[in-house]
Amino acid sequence: MGSSGAFLDKGGFKEYNWAEIGKKYGIKILKRNNVNNNSLPFLSNTPGTAYLKYHNDGTFSQFIEYGENRKKKNVLDYGVHRGIKSVHLHQYAENGHLIKTAIIASHESGIIDKTLYNKYKKLLKGIKL
């Protein structure tokens, strides 16, 4: 999920490693500076916040919601998971341990979990299922 060198001792990321390139629905869109990294920071500087990442072509890549402890709470990804290209959600406990992973939609099966898909669909720019 990124090199630990990109993060501050107190948690969060060094701001010069990430740039805010916009906002969507009030959520900061981040881009990693000068590094080809596929993931958003594993800790947030601000408790209870969220960040978005889009590919260079503008299609959705990742959305992370952080808890009050600044650790990942929910991670929505679009990519290969368990051999299937899908939109999938990883849910984490406060201690950082993975609780559950759910495939929300895939090109093979279409929309699998309508409730979760409807919750996040506005963020899924450019994904055709």
Looking at residue 16, what is its pLDDT? 58
Where do the domains of the chain lie?
4-123
Task: Identify the sign of the CA torsion 15, 6, 41, 39.
Answer: positive
The pTM (predicted TM-score) of the whole model is 0.82
> What does pLDDT average to in each consecutive run of 10 residues of the chain (129 residues)?
44 64 92 72 87 91 94 93 92 92 93 95 90
Looking at residue 63, what is its pLDDT? 97
Question: What does the DSSP assignment read for 90-124?
Answer: EEE-TTS-EEEEEEEEETTTEES-HHHHHHHGGG-
- Can you give the length of the chain in residues? 129
Residues 58, 100: Cα–Cα separation, whole Å: 28
Residues 28, 120: Cα–Cα separation, whole Å: 15
Residues with Cβ < 8 Å from 89, sequence gap 6 or more?
Answer: 74, 75, 76, 77, 101, 102, 104, 116, 120
